[in-house]
């Protein structure tokens, strides 16, 4: 088989895969929005988005508490997870001894392969009792517990992608900084890290997507209370956990509203990705 024919075959194959991916995304969007738009019109967009009371038995579908809960849990998880993940990536890329890297890298990769429900059990058995012991006036199931679990879950994505971004920077950046009299630490943080910011920001975007879309682990440790939290120790319900908890027995308008909740979640993730990608381009 000639090289030109091979290239042509793979060109068609890759194009077909891309086409199937695009069709899948478009199909999901059509399904979600076709079901969600009439439902939101029925309820009223103001009542749906800005009311805080949720009770499917009397068809009260205000999701503001779940929107706020999703944003709070995701934001706190990113605040906890991003510094740990980026610093871990820097250590593994530039400072970790080779014998230790052989142990740590498979461990990080394994961390990314653990099922969500296992993280949930870990949070329920370890994190929740610890928080209950420290703050004995709460059950331990709270916004803080959910954020800690999500921070752990997004670490593999941030660490591995950030490390790859740092590793891809030419060695000349580091050597040039050393030649100008900078220490090894300054060379890494002020020469290599800025050059790798695009890849690091991409890892944060994926981490945010994983955090805001997670349901199984969060539903086990968040408390699932439909309220706007006033403290990180309050229980919360996110959009994803609301869907998971009620989709199994929902019917009629209740089911349609849960699908609409998925659309709201989809739009949030889309807006976050667009915003961060614009920030990445500006820099």
**CATH number of the domain to which 240 belongs:** 1.10.3720.10
How many CB atoms are located within 10 Å of the residue 201 CB?
17
pLDDT for 282: 56
Residue 37 and residue 115 share a domain? no
Say how far apart CA 120 and CA 270 lie, in whole Å: 26
Give yes or no for a contact between 222 and 24, defined as CB atoms under 8 angstroms apart: no
The helix (H) or strand (E) run that includes residue 54 is: strand 54-55
Of 272, 269, 277, which is closest to residue 32 (Cα–Cα)? 269
* Total domains present in the chain: 2
- Residue at 36 is within a domain: yes
Q: Tell whether the model's pLDDT for residue 281 goes beyond 80.
A: no
Residue-wise pLDDT for 133-153, tens only, equals: 888 767 788 899 999 999 999
Residue 146 and residue 207 share a domain? yes
Report residue 231's pLDDT band, with 50, 70 and 90 as the boundaries.
confident
Phi first, then psi, for residue 111 (nearest 5°) are -60, -35
- Residue at 58 is within a domain: no
CA angle 44, 48, 51 (to 5 degrees): 120
Model confidence pTM above 0.75: yes
Residue 69 and residue 119 share a domain? yes
Report residue 178's pLDDT band, with 50, 70 and 90 as the boundaries.
confident
pLDDT for 248: 83
Range of the structural domain that residue 19 is part of: 3-43
- Residue at 158 is within a domain: yes
- Residue at 54 is within a domain: no
């Amino acid at each position: 088989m000639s090289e030109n024919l091979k290239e042509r075959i793979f060109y068609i194959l890759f194009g077909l895969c891309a086409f199937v991916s695009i069709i899948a995304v478009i199909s999901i969007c059509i399904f979600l929005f076709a079901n969600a738009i009439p439902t939101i019109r029925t309820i009223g967009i103001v009542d749906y988005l800005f009311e805080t009371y949720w009770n499917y038995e009397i068809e009260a579908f205000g999701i503001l508490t779940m929107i706020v809960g999703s944003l709070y849990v995701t934001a706190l998880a990113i605040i906890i997870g991003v510094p740990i993940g980026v610093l871990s990536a820097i250590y593994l890329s530039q400072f970790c001894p080779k014998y230790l890297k052989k142990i740590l890298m498979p461990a990080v990769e394994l961390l990314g392969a653990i099922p969500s429900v296992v993280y949930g059990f870990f949070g329920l058995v370890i994190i929740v009792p610890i928080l209950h012991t420290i703050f004995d006036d709460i059950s331990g199931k709270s916004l803080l517990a959910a954020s800690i679990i999500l921070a752990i879950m997004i670490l593999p994505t941030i660490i591995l992608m950030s490390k790859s971004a740092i590793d891809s920077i030419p060695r000349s950046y580091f050597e040039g900084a050393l030649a100008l009299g900078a220490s090894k630490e300054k060379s890494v943080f002020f020469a290599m890290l800025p050059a790798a910011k695009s890849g690091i920001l991409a890892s944060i975007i994926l981490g945010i997507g994983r955090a805001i879309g997670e349901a199984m682990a969060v539903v086990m440790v968040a408390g699932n209370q439909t309220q706007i939290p006033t403290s990180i120790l309050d229980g919360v319900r996110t959009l994803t956990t609301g869907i998971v908890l009620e989709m199994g027995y929902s019917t009629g308008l209740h089911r349609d509203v849960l699908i609409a909740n998925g659309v709201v979640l989809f739009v949030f993730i889309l807006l976050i990705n667009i915003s961060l990608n614009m920030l990445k381009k500006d820099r």
